Chains A and B, each alone.
Chain A
Amino acid sequence: MIAQNRAGGYGHAQAVSHQSGEEVSVSMVDLKHAAAIVGIHEHVTRYAPDKSELQIQGESVIKALEDAGLTKQDVDGLLTASSSARNTGLNLADYLNMYPRFVDNTTVGGGSFEFHLSHALNAIVAGRLNCAVITYSSLARSGSVSVGTGGVARFGHPRLEPSPDSFEELYGLTTVGLYAMIAQRHMHLYGTTSEQLAEIAVAVRHHASMNPEALFRNPITVEDVVNSRVISSPLHLPDCCVITDGGGAVVVASAEVARNCRHQPVWVLGAGEAVAHQGAGKRDLMYIAAHQSHGPAFGMAGVTHQDIDMAMIYDSFTITVLETLEDLGFCKKGEGGDFVSGGRLRIGGELPINTDGGGLSSNHPGMRGIFLLLEATRQLRHEFDGTPRQVADCNIALCHGTGGALGSRHSGGTVILGRD
């Protein structure tokens, strides 16, 4: 399988070290053009009380394989994440009646699916996988899950005892609160304003207005955001993602399989993954996992920030986007407030983000990382050509998924995708 890697050989890439952010040299296999996204499907439902999570996943897998021009027999890998403990790759394989030789249940919060794509790439290069499906679904809305404002911020996971939950739950941590604390300190250190955070919500809503499937499509202004209800200071209601049902699937395949698919391949050019946490009570929480994960992804892809035509940035909250853009290196730490202002993040701007309307306006079924891959693939296929939603000359896209909470512990997965 490695011989099929078109770029071939061993590359030498720049990466960012674990904590210091200093550039260090690491050797890594050049994996470009070894694996591609060849099929996608978004289950457009935003409310599906009559369906099971497995049914939404099953329907998504079937449609994504149709999109790729592949069949059940072509699939030898299954990757999924779920906040409900029983809904693993094992149960999914049972439901779909499949016998995959590669199964990955990596569940690190909303960004799990960027990790999955990275792991599928690894397995393809290792010759252990030809074609895998990454899939997810959730009934977060019809199940009335408090994704953001529940009292314990465990994202549906079982209580972890004795630590850290015994030292956190008794203080009423909410998910939104754990992001709001980072926003509060960002404002304190760098003078970032609520108006600047609102610019993110406004830009993403503008994109949602072009997506007929988006939950909220009416345009909003910065004033609308800052005059709305505060959920957890300094974050207002429109600074927070929506809660929906939904799901989707992504088919990722080797170069050999990709050549025979219906669409031109969307190559996985680079990937990096990282975690960030309290660091025994001493880590600087203002740097998020993106600070560690982006170096390997850019290094592997051999591209620079100027090469990125659009980005799908996990937008659980507006502060997530601002912190992620800083720590991916699109601007310096502390300059995110200026960077997100002035229409830069809109289609037509310097770095369009979340062109489907994001989690802030389109959908957020518990975990949203898979939708980042779906929209980046649509843009790289030029699926919206001739409409305002298409990012012009879109050749390279970046997806960054964040899972967990910035204020306590979270994961970050960066992937860079490109078309021929």
Chain B
Amino acid sequence: MPEWNKPLPTISGETKPYWDHCRRGELLIQKCDKCEEYQFYPRGICANCWSNDIQWVTASGKGTVWTFTVTYQNGTPGFADEVPYVLALVELEEGVRMFTNIVDCNPRSVSIGMPVEVTFVRATDQISVPYFKPAA
């Protein structure tokens, strides 16, 4: 396996469960016990009602492409040799959107509304990165 040369996330108390579960192939999002709203990215308070009754829940891992761009130019190590790649915002079934890459397909085949599902790539012993691929 080639050495990972893309940016890596910093794991904090606030976000550790997310990355722990990514390593096990599970995508977690947060839900507020008080107002029942989902949120992404993970944080220590409810972004809607500001309560701290936040629960981690396992997302279905299914969603649709909300928007995307095929990136043809990025001089940053790790991406420079990967162009063209698809940067996307995927809307999960639970209703929150997250940045990702659409992988395992021809970049030119990606379209808005396309059904996708999560797939994980091991970057280091600590970090597996959630990507999305066309739904089976």
Which A residues are closer than 8 A to B by beta carbons? 146, 149-152, 159, 161-174, 176-177, 180-182, 184-185, 188, 229-235, 278-282, 285, 407-408
Which are the 4 A-B pairs with shortest beta-carbon distances? A151-B76, A166-B9, A281-B96, A280-B47
Are A173 and B75 in touch, CB under 8 angstroms?
A: no
Query: With the chains together, A165 CA to B77 CA distance in Å?
Result: 17
Residues in chain B within 8 A of chain A (CB atoms): 6-12, 14-15, 37-43, 47-48, 66-79, 82, 85, 87-89, 95-101, 112-113, 123, 129
B15 near A162: Cβ-Cβ < 8 Å: yes
Q: Is B6's CB under 8 angstroms from A278's CB?
A: no
Q: Is B72 a contact partner of A281 (Cβ separation < 8 A)? A: no
**Which B residues lie within 8 Å of A174 (CB)?**
71, 73-74, 87
26 contacts between A and B (CB under 8 A): A151-B7, A162-B14, A163-B41, A165-B9, A166-B15, A167-B42, A167-B99, A170-B123, A170-B129, A172-B71, A172-B78, A172-B82, A174-B87, A177-B71, A177-B74, A177-B87, A185-B66, A188-B113, A231-B72, A232-B73, A278-B40, A278-B97, A280-B37, A280-B96, A282-B95, A407-B67
CB distance from A56 to the nearest CB of B (A): 26
B40 cross-chain contacts in A, Cβ below 8 A: 167, 278, 280-281
Kindly report which residue of chain A lies nearest to residue B123, judged by CB atoms.
A170
Q: Is the CB of A281 within 8 A of B38?
A: yes
Residues on the B chain within 8 Å of A168, using CB: 99
Shortest C-beta distance, A158 to chain B (Å), equals: 12
Among candidates B8, B42, B78, residue contacting A151 with C-beta atoms closer than 8 Å: B78
- B69 with A181: CB separation less than 8 A: yes
Distance of A146 Cα from B15 Cα, bound (Å): 30
**Which residues from B are CB-within-8-Å of A280?**
37, 39-40, 47-48, 96
Q: Which residues of A contact B71 (CB under 8 A)?
A: 172, 174, 177, 232
Cα distance A146–B7 in the bound complex, in angstroms: 17
The distance from the CB of A262 to the nearest CB of chain B, in whole angstroms, is 46
Contact status A232-B70, CB under 8 Å: yes
Interface of A is mostly: loop
Using A231-B72, A281-B38, A407-B67 as known contacts, list a sample of 18 further A-B pairs with CB atoms less than 8 Å apart, ordered by residue number in A: A149-B74, A150-B74, A150-B75, A152-B7, A161-B12, A162-B10, A171-B99, A172-B71, A172-B79, A176-B73, A177-B71, A177-B87, A184-B67, A184-B112, A188-B67, A229-B72, A280-B40, A281-B97
* A180 and B9 form a contact (CB under 8 A): no
Provide the bound-state CA to CA distance between A235 and B72, in Å. 10
Residues of B within 8 A of A181 (CB): 67-69, 87-89
Tell me which of A150, A172, A176 contacts B6 (CB under 8 A): A172
Known: A233-B70, A281-B38. A151 touches B47 (CB 8 A): no
CA distance A167 to B28 in the complex (A): 13
Report which residue of A182, A233, A235 has the largest number of chain B beta carbons within 10 angstroms of its beta carbon: A233
Q: Which residues of A are found within 8 Å of B42, using beta-carbon distances?
A: 163, 167
Contacts of B41 in A (CB 8 A): 163-164, 166-167, 278, 281
B124 CB, min distance to chain A CBs, angstroms: 11
Q: Which residue of B lies closest to A179 (CB)?
A: B69
Q: Are B9 and A167 in contact (CB under 8 A)?
A: yes
Given A151-B76, A184-B68: A170 in contact with B9 (beta carbons within 8 A): yes
User: Given A146-B75, A229-B72, A232-B73, are A173 and B67 also a contact pair (CB < 8 Å)?
Assistant: no
Please determine whether A162 and B67 come into contact, CB atoms closer than 8 angstroms: no
Contact A151 B12 (CB under 8 A): no
- Residues from chain A with a CB closer than 8 A to the CB of B67 are 181-182, 184-185, 188, 285, 407
Given A152-B7, A184-B112, also A173-B70 (CB < 8 A): no
* Most chain A beta-carbon neighbours within 10 Å: one of B48, B73, B88, B100: B73
A173 — which chain B residues lie within 8 A by C-beta?
Answer: 87, 99
